[in-house]
Amino acid sequence: MQDLDVMGTFWLPNQERIAVFGRLTFNTKDGGIVHLADTLAEITDNHERHEKGGGTRSHVLGVLHKRSYDQPVTLLDCLWLSRTKYHAHMILIGAHFATDEETVFESASIRFNDAGAWLGQDAISVEVDTALDGVERRELTARLDRPPRISTRFARGEVALDFRWSRQDIEFKSMAIEQWPQFELTYDDRTSVSKIIEDAGNIYNLMSLCTDRPGLFDRIHLYRTDLPQKALTGDEFPGTQQEIELRARLGDRSLPVDAKVLSADDVPVPFDDLGIAGLASWLDRSPGIMPIIGALLSMRHREIYSENRFLNLASAAEGLHRATVGGRYLPDSAFRRLRRELRGYLPDEHHKWFNDLFAHANSPSLADRLTGLAQELGDSAHSLVGNNVDAWVHTVKKVRNDLTHLDEDRPQYDGRDLFFLAESIFDVTRLCLLLRIGLKPESLRRIARDIRTHGNFVQVEYTIQRISPPQPEAQEIE
C-alpha cells in the first residue's frame, strides 16, 4: 500500500460545524496517524463543547484537501494518543460512514505484489523484428491477452480471479500498458470491514504459504451498489460503483517495499495446483485453524528466536494432525474407565499428579503425528526429510522435548540445526495442509522435488546425523 501524507479537516459524526484542521499520514509500518490543530469535540444538548480524553473513537469523518479537489475520508477505530493526535486503525478513502451499521460492503477487490508470480500467467507479449535490408530500425509489437475471469462459490459468497489493465500515453513520447491480477470477493450479505480484512488476510496467508515468502498488499477496494461514482460537481454516474480505498497495516510489514521481484520459477506451489476451488475451500476452512496457520507462517518471520521458530513449527504439525485426523488409543469411555481403575491403586495425595500425567495419554504422541503426516505424502516425504523418515521423526521429537525442559542440563542446539529442522517440518506440514484444501495429488511429487532442489535438503540430513547419529548394532559375545 502506498504511503499517504495529506492535509485535511476532521470531525466526529454529526459535529462538522466544529471540524478541526489536521494532517493525516499513513505507511505500512506505523499505520494511520492524524495530527490535529485542536482536539476533537462534541456539542452537547445544552450547547456546551465537550472533550473526551482517552479511549477510542469508532468513527472520525473528514475531508482530504487534494491539489485540485477534496476527497471524503472515514477513520475507523481511532486510538486517543493525546489531545491532538490519534492512531487510525483503518482508513476508508472515498465516502463517509458515521456508524458501524453503515460501514458494510457488498464486494471487495484485493491486489498483492506477488500475485502475478503465484498465478504465472503473463498477459503481455512483445515481438521485436530485426532490421530489414540494412535499414536501422526495429519494429515492435506488443499484445495484451487478458486471461478469462474465473469464479466459484464459497460459504458466504463468490470468490473470483480477474485480470485488469490500464494504459497511459504521452503524445509523441511514450505509451505504457500495465496489467495486474486481482482477487474479487462478492458477498451474499453486506459484510463488515473487519470481516473483509479477515478474508483478504486469509488469501494473503495462502499465497505466502505457496510462494514461500511474505508478500505485500498493494490495494484493497470496497464497493456498494448504492454508492455510485460521482463527478467533481457531485453528479452521480448511473450503473457505477465508487471505489472505497482501504488503508490499514496488513501483512508482513518487515518485507522491504523494494524487495526482489518474485519470479514464477521461484514459486514452490503455483496457483494452478490449487485452482479457484482450492482458494474457496481455503476461505471456508482456514478460519478454524488460524493458530496452526500462524505458527506455520512464523517460519519466514525475520525477527524470531530459532528455538521459538522450531517450537512453533512442531506445534503446527501436531495441531494440524490433531485438528484434521484426531486419533485415540482407546475409546474415550474405555480410557476413562481404565484411568479410574489405575487411580484406585494410588493414595489420594497422588491423584492430582496421576491426573496430570494421564491428561493426554489417550492421544497419539508427537512422533505418531509426524509419522502420520509423512505417510500422507508417500514417497514425496523423502524429498523433504531424507530417506529415513523414522530418524527424522526421532530427531524432531528429541529436540522438541529437550527445548521444552527449561533446566540447566538440557542440550544446547545450534541455531542452524534448529532452522533446518524447522524448515523440514514446515515443508511437510505445508503440503499436508494444502492437500486438505484441494492440492492436486499428481502435483505432489513435482512440488516436493522442486523444494528439495531449491531448499536445504542436504543440511536437513546432516542435522539429523549430528543430533541423532545411528547407533551401532549390538554384537553378540561369543
Query: Which phi and psi angles does 236 have, rounded to 5°?
Result: -90, 145
What's the pLDDT at 478? 41
Q: What is the DSSP string of 293-328?
A: HHHHHGGG-SS--HHHHHHHHHHHHHHHHHHHT---
Cα Rg, the chain, nearest whole Å: 28
| Coil, helix or strand at residue 393 | helix
The pLDDT of residue 199: 97
Q: What is the 3-state secondary structure (H, E, C) of 407-428?
A: CCCCCCCCHHHHHHHHHHHHHH
Dihedral angle of Cα 209, 212, 215, 220, to the nearest 10 degrees: -30
Longest dimension (CA), the chain: 105
Cell, residue 358: 494421564
Which residues, at least 6 apart from 342, have a Cβ–Cβ distance to it below 8 Å? 354, 358
Quickly list DSSP for 235-286. Answer: -B-TT----EEEEE--S-TTS-TTPPPPPGGG-SS-GGGTHHHHHHHHHHHG
Residue ranges in the chain whose pLDDT is less than 50 = 472, 474-478
pLDDT of residue 45: 82
In the prediction, which pLDDT does 84 show? 93
H/E element, 26: strand 20-27
Q: Residue 254 has what pLDDT?
A: 54
